A and B are shown apart, each in its own frame.
Chain A
Amino acid sequence: MANTYDRVADLLVERLGVTREELSPEATFEELDLDSLDLVEFSMAARDEFGVQISDDEAEGLKTVGDAVALLDQKGAGVAGA
């Protein structure tokens, strides 16, 4: 099974139109040109892909792709699989 970062990267590319070249764990959502509604889309996609709920408050606290990966892992995305 792919690790959480790879799955998050796929999701950002496929659902939010981010290019792979821009992506790194350190890349911020702002640098990726993703705004608050994109973060809502990200949370909806994460629920579909990982079965994990991210609240709007949690989504607002995310600055980098790495933050999102850490939050999803903390919520059990890595072990639950999909």
Chain B
Amino acid sequence: MGQGGCDRVGCVSALIQGLGTSVPAGVLGNAELAGRCGTTDEWIRSRTGIVERRMAEPGVATSDLAVEAGARALKSSGHAVADAVILATMTPDRPCPATAPEISARLGLPSGMAFDLNAACSGFIYGLAVATGMLAAGLAERVLLIGADLMTRVVDPMDRNTSVLFGDGAGAVVLASGGPEEPGALGPFDLGGDGERADLLHIPAGGTRRPAYSDDVTAGEHFLHMEGKEVYRQAVMGMTTSCQRVLAKAGLRTSDIDHLVAHQANARILTAVGDRLDIPPDRRVCNVDRYGNTTGASIPLALADLHSAGAQPGQRVLLTAFGAGLSWGSTLLRWPDLGER
């Protein structure tokens, strides 16, 4: 039986009912980064497809963008309430407590459950799955899921292998129960991970294994480290096979898919995954050129672009993500009725 799959008569799905985003006003273009870390605009564009990314001002925290995106998602859903808040992030405001409770309070939500979920770039898909389970179990009636990360805070500004890739942002959706064929319906899901490859993409210091003492900070061990080539290989294969598993569970083919929303890590990865799935370029969402990799915010920022581009309620959208962990996840979405664009 598939995870979250609609295997039973009369089963319910989670429905996306609202969508909102927030990105910092500050734009960090390639020229500025290129000078700082000894590369060129052309090098960055050709290897990543990224032209610019957003960067939060000093003093701004992940919760600040998350609250704004969350408020917009609630407004878009038509109801200002949710009884659970999930924040998918790998860059919380502080190590303890979780950031979601503060977000919930700042949004004026009744004191429902609120917690952070760390599955890095797969966090938003994991959050969709967790919300689906919470709704099915009757633990909540309306879930606010926010994906938000300030990646510019955790990349080494001098490291061209990481600093050119990442940006800051937030995106959110509101989820409630509904029928599996209704606009907004999610599922089935494919989720997976491979902890054997944890070191391919990690922040070595700052946890209990290795607290970030001054020597570690001097050595840059509190920054994100990435084995780019192997991550590329794993991401391409991981997202492709995860999409194939979701399609198999749903009994669909790639020709049934109206839009592919893949984690916006790198334009080269988007091309490699789209080509392998045989989904043509005009059905692939791409905004990595404007935002870079925003980790937990990547999928909802792409959904917002798809909304602006005129996706129609009921269209079939394939969502897939891959990231640190390693972690990956995919699901299908019947495009929701989100009202004005």
State the A residues within 8 Å of B (CB). Answer: 35-37, 40-41, 43-44, 56
Contact = CB atoms under 8 A, between A and B. Distances in A.
Nearest to B46: A35
A22 B103 CA distance: 57
B245 interface: no
Interface string B215-258: 00000000000000110110011000000000000000000000
B113 interface: no
Interface of B: 46-47, 229-230, 232-233, 236-237, 268, 272
A49 B237 CA distance: 16
A41 B230 CA distance: 11
A43 to B, nearest CB: 8
A40 B47 contact: no
A36 B229 contact: yes
Max chain B CB contacts within 10 Å: which of A36, A40, A41, A56? A40
B293 to A, nearest CB: 15
Contacts of B232: 37, 40
A41 B272 contact: yes
Contact of A44 (B47, B233, B268): B233
Contacts of A37: 47, 229, 232, 268
A44 B236 contact: yes
B47 A35 contact: yes
Main SS class of interface, B: helix
Given A35-B46, A37-B229, A37-B232, 15 more contacts: A35-B47, A36-B47, A36-B229, A37-B47, A37-B268, A40-B229, A40-B232, A40-B233, A41-B272, A43-B233, A44-B233, A44-B236, A44-B237, A56-B229, A56-B230
15 contacts: A35-B47, A36-B47, A36-B229, A37-B229, A37-B232, A37-B268, A40-B229, A40-B232, A40-B233, A43-B233, A44-B233, A44-B236, A44-B237, A56-B229, A56-B230
A40 B236 CA distance: 11
A1 to B, nearest CB: 26
Nearest to B275: A15
The 9 closest A-B pairs by CB, nearest first: A56-B229, A40-B229, A37-B268, A40-B232, A40-B233, A37-B47, A37-B232, A44-B233, A35-B47
A56 B272 CA distance: 18
Contacts of B237: 44
A56 B228 CA distance: 10
Contacts of A35: 46-47
B212 to A, nearest CB: 29
Contacts of A44: 233, 236-237
A55 to B, nearest CB: 10
Nearest to A38: B268
A36 B46 CA distance: 11
Nearest to B230: A56
Nearest to A41: B272
A37 B270 CA distance: 13
B70 to A, nearest CB: 36
B307 to A, nearest CB: 31
B34 to A, nearest CB: 16
Nearest to A37: B268
A37 B268 CA distance: 8
Contacts of A56: 229-230
